[in-house]
Amino acid sequence: MAFDYAPAPESRAVVDLRASYGLFVDGEFVDPAAGGSFKTVNPATEEVLAEVAEAGPADVDRAVAAARRAHREVWGPMPGRERAKYLFRIARLLQERGRELAVLETLDNGKPIRESRDGDVPLAAQWFFYHAGWADKLEHAGHGPDPQPLGVAAQVIPWNFPLLMLAWKIAPALACGNTVVLKPAETTPLSALVFAEICQQADLPPGVVNILTGAGDTGAALVAHDDVDKVAFTGSTDVGRAIAQAVAGTHKKVTLELGGKAANIVFDDAPLDEAVEGIVNGIFFNQGHVCCAGSRLLVQESVADDVLERLRRRMTTLRVGDPLDKNTDVGAINSAEQLAKIRELTAVGDEEGAERWSAPVELPTSGYWFPPTVFTGVSQAHRIAREEIFGPVLSVLTFRTPDEAVAKANNTPYGLSAGVWSDKGSRTLWAAGRLRAGVVWSNTFNKFDPASPFGGYQQSGYGREGGRHGLEAYLR
Amino acid sequence: MSGTDRLEVRKTYKLYVGGAFPRSESGRSHPVLDSRGEFWANAATASRKDARDAVRAARTAFGGWSRRTAYNRGQVVYRVAEVLEGRRAQLAEEISRAEGLSARAAGDVVDASVDRLVWYAGWADKLAQVLGGTNPVAAPYFSFSMPEPTGVIAVLAPQGSSLLGLVSVVAPVIVSGNTAVVAASASRPLPAVTLSEVLATSDVPGGVVNVLTGPLSETAPTLASHLDVDGLDLTGLAGDPTAVELERSAAESLKRVRRAPAEEPDWAADPGLEPMTTFLETKTVWHPIGV
């Protein structure tokens, strides 16, 4: 007999949403100069969660000026050991308000509560805790004997890990003595605004962290502002390219963490059940809204049928639905726009002759949903093998020899991550050495840690986040 | 017969691409003047096609060069220093003529160039430990990071310092395993051609360094926009506003760019790590730990 899961929803009561939010500038929530606003919705239900201010050029001016003053007068001159204590405070506050932030993140983003509770939020706290410790040790970090902050950092982050990406950006910037103006993604602004409250609770000096909500125009104005010294962006390769063009000829230091089309290589000697777990984690974690997602499965021909059969069987057990349910594995697609993009590219997959199979799941009737999907019979020329889909869609290709696997894996303008599955240590290290990617997961996938540098090769961007390496982005 | 009666055999100054010394495919050359403005020689005028050929040669060489052991790359760069030392007199004379330096000052420049190569040679098998290491992650995984070369790097060599400046931008690129396409100083290209002859006789595999002579207006835009070039060093355009357009062009394929300084750097100063790290990627590998 089959056992059904009883609903196990996490309570929303822990989140106290305001009807509307202002911009966070110079330590206070303020109304935007031009008065525009937009709504943020729960992608699992299409319910409006809150109204959020839209920052215009005047607000960007104001926030950058606040950050500049805070850098000049307070944060820049402050001894590293004092900066460190603020960051430790923030780390603790994130832990204390962890459950609230996890629920909020799931409401605004659509990701399963299991992931926001066990992944995004604890990692965000860890990011601050880790970088706090660097603030008074920078001269030992190998970036020169007298490293100095850059000044004001303009930071633009995506919607897939809203709070975690904020932590990746703000923690190293502050630890290195910079002040920041950060723009969260337009579809997921809420956790950044709660983070602004946390800055207030930590008594962080006004102007050290400024949060400007808005869409692409706000981000473009921020990045182009004459008085920023540093631009840090995580998002699409197209926008990253535009930013690299916009800052050409300026003094601004730039780091870009962009798209990917990672290969997940399964050799015939791999422990297949573990590999299947890794494949599932690689592409269905966070609905596939992951720049380093293992979206191209490269499986050795001799085990391809076996792997695919196990994969389909495993996919039928994935629970897709209410993101607040603690048993949910795959949540909602973040926005109608993203859902349309996934549908468009998967339709191209059909047209180009690849074979589609989706897990037999019942999708909710409201909200934005896409079933976990696998395309087989994919060739390297197919668009679904070349372009980032940024959804729960896996393209499967096969190979015969290790050299062929590496050649196919590297046949992409991206180079963010890759996975290798094999029981043979020498083989995984051989493959890891030849893969042109910034992160290689060997017999695992999608692992992150503030002590471990993350970032891409080629058109996946430049610069690293995390570890000693990540500090370089915020020092001169 | 006394030496003065003998007519000098002059050298044809050619490009250096893929380990060979071709003339420009365009068949063009241009006069190079010495520091007093007098005709010195004709140099090959590299065309856009020559630049593309050089990129192809550099790409072909990248796999083998980047996979050599660091120890071996260090020895090869050291070998360049050895061979350059043997050409001291010739290069000192060329630098003197190109840059208007006294014979003694020009000799000092060659010495400094040799010393710089020796310094960089020693870096080859130190970079991974200085720049890499293990990452203390909060989970049962062995996580480590190491530097890897970025790929094919287009280097616009300094306009003023025709040998020391050139060596100071090429050595840091190749010692870590990158390959280079170098646009030599437009007005002082001849020491670069002679350095090519040094490279060709120093165990540097063909294509690891490719040297183009001629106006930058011909080669630089091609290199900056080439999709198979991974990095761009704009040092040669110090203080030149055209560098902005090249940086913008390089953004199309998200090249790593070393921006043009306001003025040509002091080549006698300690270079630091930045000339190397700009064209290095960090690779992080995770592996589970368990029984």
* Contact at CB, B141 and A444, closer than 8 angstroms: yes
Query: Which residues are bridge partners to B281 per DSSP?
Result: B148
- Using one digit for the tens of pLDDT, what is the confidence trace for A196-248? 999 999 999 999 999 999 999 999 999 999 999 999 999 999 999 999 999 99
Any chain B CB within 8 A of the CB of A455?
A: yes
SS3 of residue A179 by DSSP: strand
Q: Which helix (H) or strand (E) holds A41?
A: strand A37-41
In angstroms, the separation between the Cα of residue B223 and the nearest Cα of chain A is 16
Tokens of A334: 């973040």
Burial A187-220 (b: 16+ CB within 10 A, else e): bbbbbbbbbbebbeebebbbbbbbbbbbeeebbb
* Contact at CB, B254 and A437, closer than 8 angstroms: no
In angstroms, the separation between the Cα of residue B286 and the nearest Cα of chain A is 5
Chains A, B: CB contacts within 8 A come to 101
Average pLDDT for B152-180: 98
Q: Among all residues of chain A, which has the CA nearest to that of B152?
A: A458
Residue B150: list chain A partners with CB under 8 A.
457
Task: Tell me the C-alpha distance between A136 and A315, whole Å.
Answer: 48
**CB A378, CB A337: distance < 8 Å:** no
Which of B139, B141, B244 is opposite residue A248, by nearest beta carbon? Answer: B244
Of the pLDDT bands very low, low, confident and very high (cuts 50, 70, 90), residue B3 is low
Q: Given a cut of 90, is residue B191 above it in pLDDT?
A: yes
Residue B243: list chain A partners with CB under 8 A.
249
Any chain B CB within 8 A of the CB of A417?
A: no
The closest alpha carbon to B48, from B234, B222, B261, belongs to B222
* Contact at CB, B284 and A142, closer than 8 angstroms: no
In A124-177 the beta strands, taken as DSSP E runs, fall at 152-156
- Amino acid identity of B259? R
- Using one digit for the tens of pLDDT, what is the confidence trace for B138-150? 999 999 999 999 9
Q: Among all residues of chain B, which has the CA nearest to that of A123?
A: B138
Of the pLDDT bands very low, low, confident and very high (cuts 50, 70, 90), residue A38 is very high
Of the pLDDT bands very low, low, confident and very high (cuts 50, 70, 90), residue A3 is confident
Delimit the CATH 3.40.605.10 region(s) of chain A.
Answer: 20-258+458-474
* Contact at CB, A438 and B131, closer than 8 angstroms: no
- Using one digit for the tens of pLDDT, what is the confidence trace for A375-426? 999 999 999 999 999 999 999 999 999 999 999 999 999 999 999 999 999 9
Which of B133, B248, B288 is opposite residue A248, by nearest beta carbon? Answer: B248
**Class of the A263-442 domain?**
alpha beta
Alpha-helical segments (H) within A247-397:
272-284, 301-316, 336-351, 383-386
Average pLDDT for A293-314: 98
For the segment(s) B13-288, the CATH number from 3.90.1150.10, 3.30.200.20, 3.40.605.10, 3.40.1010.20 is 3.40.605.10
SS3 of residue B288 by DSSP: strand
In angstroms, the separation between the Cα of residue B249 and the nearest Cα of chain A is 8
In chain B the beta strands, taken as DSSP E runs, fall at 29-33, 39-44, 133-135, 141-149, 152-156, 179-183, 209-212, 231-233, 256-258, 280-288
How many CB atoms neighbour CB B269 within 10 A?
8
The pLDDT score that the predictor gives to residue A4 is 82
Q: Which residue has the tokens 């993140």?
A: A105
Task: Tell me the C-alpha distance between A159 and A186, whole Å.
Answer: 8
Please give the positions of A annotated as active site. Answer: 257, 291
Q: What is the mean pLDDT of chain A?
A: 97
Q: Given a cut of 50, is residue B158 above it in pLDDT?
A: yes
Task: Tell me the C-alpha distance between A429 and A424, whole Å.
Answer: 9
The pLDDT score that the predictor gives to residue A1 is 62
Q: Among all residues of chain B, which has the CA nearest to that of A445?
A: B286
Q: What's the CA angle centered on B206, arms B15 and B86, to 5 degrees?
A: 75
CATH 3.40.605.10 for domain A20-258+458-474, yes or no, is: yes
Tokens of B50: 């020559």
In angstroms, the separation between the Cα of residue A421 and the nearest Cα of chain B is 10
Q: Given a cut of 80, is residue A2 above it in pLDDT?
A: no
Q: Given a cut of 90, is residue B1 above it in pLDDT?
A: no
- Using one digit for the tens of pLDDT, what is the confidence trace for B124-135? 999 999 999 999
- Using one digit for the tens of pLDDT, what is the confidence trace for A174-207? 999 999 999 999 999 999 999 999 999 999 999 9
Of the pLDDT bands very low, low, confident and very high (cuts 50, 70, 90), residue B178 is very high
pTM of this structure: 0.96
- Using one digit for the tens of pLDDT, what is the confidence trace for B35-88? 999 999 999 999 999 999 999 999 999 999 999 999 999 999 999 999 999 999
* Contact at CB, A245 and B248, closer than 8 angstroms: yes
